[in-house]
Structure 1
Amino acid sequence: MSDDAGDAGATDDPEPEENISGGAAGGGEAAVFEPAEAESRAEAVVDRLGELYWQKAYGGRDGFECLVRTVLSQNTSDVASQPAHDSLMERYGPGGEDEARSASERTSGEQSDPRVGGPDLAESLAAADQQRLAETISAAGLYNQKSERIVALAERICEEYGGAAGFDEFVKTGDPEEVRSALLDMNGVGPKTADCVLLFSGGRGGVFPVDTHVHRIARRMGLAPADADHEGVREALEREVPAEKCGFGHTAMIQFGREYCKARKPACLDDPEACPLVDLCDQVGVTPATGDVVDPAESVGE
């Protein structure tokens, strides 16, 4: 998704559909958390974001599809990765064109290509021709690397969990630390991808995935050390934000980064009052008087 805000979704789900982390296809549902005195500044920030954007409880997405969707979103925008995801599901998902073609071939007595879709997405992708998959997801960028990664992940899911259904059960019912450890052991799955699967599929509380927006904003606001890496930011936020608020804190903070707290030109540069969170922000690395903006880590020791 671009830095511009998306259009509002349905009235019962205010999250923009363009946000690949949520929206109509993101799982979860609108929720309201009773207001209370925030016990930390990080919680106060998340509460304010909830008032500004949305409060939601996440969970319910298919575990393997969520994993694939997050891989497609790596190093690209939602605008690019969403069409790639849709094309992949149209071809390889249940009821996809490859499954229909396979059924037609069986009915007509023709030889069925073993590398075609079936009811299980993991089985379908494990048997996929990588070059054809790469062409299918080309909109996401880095499609050769991502197609190779997706096929390898699908093969492993089939081998270790018997397919997408078994993996989905593991994600939703397994010990969260064991699930996260298993995900991180998979090639091409980093902390953010693992945490997105835990949150959007498993519905696990206390999981605050950290992408580039969250990493920048948390350090700029002083919610995490200025020189913290992604894991350091995650640990700080999960320690200070109540478990039930971490999910919408993640998606709402991303939206805030797209609208207000942009990397090169945060809203407070021109007018402090333009930012709805200015009273909660340390402005680490941002100097409105001079217009200078640097990565928070570069301001350490100044």
Structure 2
Amino acid sequence: MDDEPAENISGGYLGGGESTSFETGAAATRAEAVVDRLGERYWQKTYGGQDAFECLVRTILSQNTSDVASQPAHDALVERYGQDGPAASEGDSVGLAASLADAHHDELAETISSAGLYNQKAETLIRLAGRICEEYGCADGFDEFVRSEDPVEVRETLLDMKGVGPKTADCVLLFAGGQSGVFPVDTHVHRITRRLGVAPPDADHEDVREALEADVPAEKCGFGHTATIQFGREFCTARRPACLDGPEACPLYDLCDRVGVDELDESVVDPADAADADQ
């Protein structure tokens, strides 16, 4: 079993949590069987313990870009605006949220430029930092809210923040709040679960989340999320999934419906488009 790669912007060693072993081999659903197979190949972990505001920052930086691009942006942001960074304050050490709330837009945008959409993300980070400082006093207060309040209330509050979508909210609940039963859905998870056939081909991100959280045991949802992302990077890519190289090339071949994948002519379409063509 592999260690979770450090460059995983959501998980990795910076994502908190700890290695855990779960019982596999008696899956009640195909979605659970998929997660079990990935857990045997990659890692089994429970998550939680990441600072809630930094988790929010990391996930926003990862929106619409790869970890390869967002990780350097995160590191540059922390270096410049973190507790010990030169932009934190004049001689005093302040938290990241307070520092970002007072940041100049253009300076922050330049700092995170490797993440893409940097002007929009800089605006979002400054606005969120200001709201968190105003409503929770500091990042510590926000962290306490995420960890101690009802997860449904936390999710609703996060979704009320402009710039925070379902995946970002769910990542905060999982990696900071340590909530089991939360399966964040990014582009990899959305593509793969529909291609596998464990979610309807025309399901949107929220439909996929609901299907996975219903069919995967709560304690397996967290590593199911991170391991599915890794599987998408290594095997089930958007343009050329490994199954096009034969059944032996994909470790999930026997569990997959390959919706939208034509192995004969080696064509690949979105599962929703494949479903429309069959009607």
**TM-score in terms of structure 1 length:** 0.89
1:65 aligns to 2:22 (yes or no): no
Cα distance in 2 between the residues matched to 1:131 and 1:153:
16
Amino acid corresponding to residue 152 of structure 1 in structure 2: R
Deviation per CA, 1:66-118: give whole Å up to 9, x if none: 0011111111111111111111111111111223x611xxxxxxxxxxxxx84
Cα distance in 2 between the residues matched to 1:240 and 1:34:
16
1:280 aligns to 2:238 (yes or no): no
1:48 aligns to 2:37 (yes or no): yes
Amino acid corresponding to residue 269 of structure 1 in structure 2: L
1:4 corresponds to: none
Alpha-carbon shift at residue 36 of structure 1 (Å) = 4.8
Alpha-carbon shift at residue 290 of structure 1 (Å) = 1.7
1:161 aligns to 2:136 (yes or no): yes
1:265 corresponds to: 240
1:77 aligns to 2:66 (yes or no): yes
The residue matched to 2:6 in structure 1 has which SS?
coil
The residue matched to 1:102 in structure 2 has which SS?
coil
Structure 1: gaps (5+ residues): 1-10, 104-116
2:165 corresponds to: 190
Which one of the candidate residues 73, 90, 96 is aligned to 1:102?
90
The residue matched to 2:32 in structure 1 has which SS?
helix
Which one of the candidate residues 192, 208, 213 is aligned to 1:233?
208
Which one of the candidate residues 7, 15, 33 is aligned to 1:26?
15
Is the 2:25–2:33 Cα contact (8 Å) retained in structure 1?
no
1:88 aligns to 2:63 (yes or no): no
Within 5 Å, give how 1:102-251 maps onto structure 2.
Answer: 102-103=90-91, 118-251=93-226
Is the 1:81–1:139 Cα contact (8 Å) retained in structure 2?
yes
Amino acid corresponding to residue 31 of structure 1 in structure 2: T
Cα distance in 1 between the residues matched to 2:68 and 2:156:
30
Is the 1:92–1:118 Cα contact (8 Å) retained in structure 2?
no
Cα distance in 1 between the residues matched to 2:24 and 2:232:
24
Output the aligned Cα RMSD: 1.3
Cα distance in 2 between the residues matched to 1:157 and 1:240:
34
Alpha-carbon shift at residue 34 of structure 1 (Å) = 2.5
Deviation per CA, 1:34-60: give whole Å up to 9, x if none: 235111000000000000111011110
Cα distance in 2 between the residues matched to 1:258 and 1:79:
12
Cα distance in 2 between the residues matched to 1:144 and 1:84:
13
Cα distance in 2 between the residues matched to 1:153 and 1:69:
13
Is the 1:133–1:147 Cα contact (8 Å) retained in structure 2?
yes
Alpha-carbon shift at residue 16 of structure 1 (Å) = 0.7
Deviation per CA, 1:209-240: give whole Å up to 9, x if none: 00110000000001100000000000000000
The residue matched to 2:147 in structure 1 has which SS?
helix
Moved over 3 A (4+): none
Cα 1:131–1:138 change in 2 (3 A) is same
